């Protein structure tokens, strides 16, 4: 049996988002891509597979199990470890031995299909316990650890299997807030069997940066290296956005402090080319890590997938603008920042002060309008469906801004001749309940809430 020091470094992909799970053909394509990139781990735990979470007690049907068996075999053929994740935390009764038996039955079913590695996930659940569970265990950490230890020692350790545990407080902010109870992480570190790995997302659920210092402190609590469940490119919390930027905000030295790095990416399968490509480059890099250079290289590799049925296909400059506009959760790319600065200046200044900004912005607007058209002609239709909504929204906003520019240049007077746009119809464009709520409550750059009446 492998000891902890001998266990392989996990590097790969988590299908662990909220939303429509990927199709079987997309998963198989992902595995091909992972093999090419040298990634070795795929964790299957889509939140909306009912039997992963809501119906975790139910075993898979023969047809469902066959699809999972196909994935497991495809992973094996490509040198990728298949991990199956189960999330019983919302409804499990820890003190009921029948619940543990149901977990064992699921593991045995998947083991029979060829799976050897698992994850038990206690994330995104209340940190409350039933009275019977509290009487039996005293703490949530103990209840969860004894459940995981039982599965590991009785089934997985004997078969060289591997188990990853996701704690209820899985980022530093949650731990600081006392989620899971006082001393939760320290107790997990003490009670969880030495062979079991532990997931961690960093200082936040979506962490802009993850430092070696922060992980070093965590290692002392967990008494092992954590495995990063990295949500840098996840977008299931804001489906109006996609993230096409590079893997960044993590120093090269971090690789020595963790037991693996697994990326939980965009829900849209086709939007993840750059994320995976740059993650693989980060894992293989020596010396310093140039995330922007890796991003530009990945875009060039991605470009052939943007071939169109028309004569004028998507250019690398088009793709760079698209990627910069939908870069990462905490930042825009260089071209998007320039575009934003130009719009901010033009909206606030008189036309005589616009200078070169006007021509540059108008050129970018034309480029986005043309890009929206080109995407409609993509041969890769799933790629079009993944990107179309965001690009169309950007186009609509920029065309509205250009109309405003024309109005200002024509001597627009707010009092005598207020600006109106035929494209903006109250209650339709930019309409709906969510938009109205956002107008009532917004947040400043520092994250502090700003009520609409202030």
Instruction: List active site positions.
Output: 124
Residue with tokens 């590799």: 301
Contact 169, 180 (CB under 8 A): yes
CA pair distance 149, 399, nearest whole angstrom: 58
Report the C-alpha gap between 259 and 226 in whole angstroms. 6
Q: Which residue has the tokens 């996990």?
A: 10
Both tokens of residue 69? 């068996």
Q: Report residue 102 as tokens.
A: 């149901």
Q: Which residue has the tokens 């802009």?
A: 208
Euclidean distance between CA atoms 436 and 15, whole angstroms = 33
Cβ–Cβ under 8 Å, residues 253 and 286: no
Taking the C-alpha atoms of 443, 447, 451 and 454 in order, what is their torsion angle to the nearest 10 degrees?
-100
């Amino acid at each position: 049996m492998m000891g902890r020091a001998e266990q392989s470094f996990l590097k790969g992909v988590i299908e662990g988002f909220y939303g429509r799970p990927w199709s079987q053909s997309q998963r198989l394509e992902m595995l091909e891509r992972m093999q090419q990139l040298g990634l070795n781990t795929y964790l299957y735990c889509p939140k909306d597979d009912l039997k992963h979470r809501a119906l975790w007690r139910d075993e898979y049907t023969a047809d469902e199990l066959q699809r999972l068996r196909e994935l497991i075999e495809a992973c094996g053929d490509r040198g990728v470890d298949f991990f199956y994740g189960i999330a019983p935390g919302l409804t499990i009764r820890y003190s009921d031995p029948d619940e543990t038996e149901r977990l064992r039955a699921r593991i045995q079913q998947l083991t029979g299909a060829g799976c050897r590695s698992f994850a038990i996930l206690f994330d995104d659940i209340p940190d409350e316990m039933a009275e019977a569970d509290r009487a039996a265990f005293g703490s949530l950490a103990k209840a969860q650890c004894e459940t995981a230890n039982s599965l590991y020692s009785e089934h997985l350790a004997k078969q060289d299997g591997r188990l990853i545990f996701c704690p209820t407080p899985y980022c530093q902010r949650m731990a600081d807030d006392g989620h899971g109870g006082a001393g939760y992480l320290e107790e997990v570190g003490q009670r969880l069997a030495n062979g079991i790995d532990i997931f961690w997302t960093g200082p936040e659920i979506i962490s802009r940066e993850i430092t070696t210092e922060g992980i070093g402190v965590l290692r002392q609590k967990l008494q092992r290296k954590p495995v990063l469940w990295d949500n840098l490119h996840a977008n299931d919390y804001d489906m109006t956005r996609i993230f096409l930027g590079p893997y960044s905000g993590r120093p090269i030295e971090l690789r020595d402090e963790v037991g693996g790095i697994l990326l939980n990416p965009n829900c849209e399968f086709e939007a993840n080319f750059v994320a995976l490509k740059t993650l693989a480059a980060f894992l293989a890099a020596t010396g310093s890590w140039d995330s922007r250079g890796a991003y530009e290289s990945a875009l060039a590799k991605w470009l052939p997938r943007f071939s169109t049925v028309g004569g004028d296909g998507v250019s690398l400059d088009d793709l760079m603008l698209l990627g910069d506009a939908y870069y990462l959760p905490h930042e825009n790319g260089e071209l998007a920042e320039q575009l934003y600065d130009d719009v901010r200046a033009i909206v606030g200044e008189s036309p005589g002060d616009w200078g070169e900004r006007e021509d540059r912005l108008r050129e970018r607007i034309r480029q986005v309008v043309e890009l929206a058209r080109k995407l409609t002609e993509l041969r890769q239709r799933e790629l079009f469906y993944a990107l179309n909504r965001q690009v169309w929204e950007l186009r609509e906003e920029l065309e509205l801004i250009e109309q405003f520019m024309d109005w200002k240049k024509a001597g627009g007077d707010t009092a005598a001749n207020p600006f109106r746009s035929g494209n903006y119809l109250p209650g339709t464009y930019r309409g709906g309940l969510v938009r109205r709520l956002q107008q009532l409550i917004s947040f400043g750059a520092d994250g502090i809430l700003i009520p609409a009446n202030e």
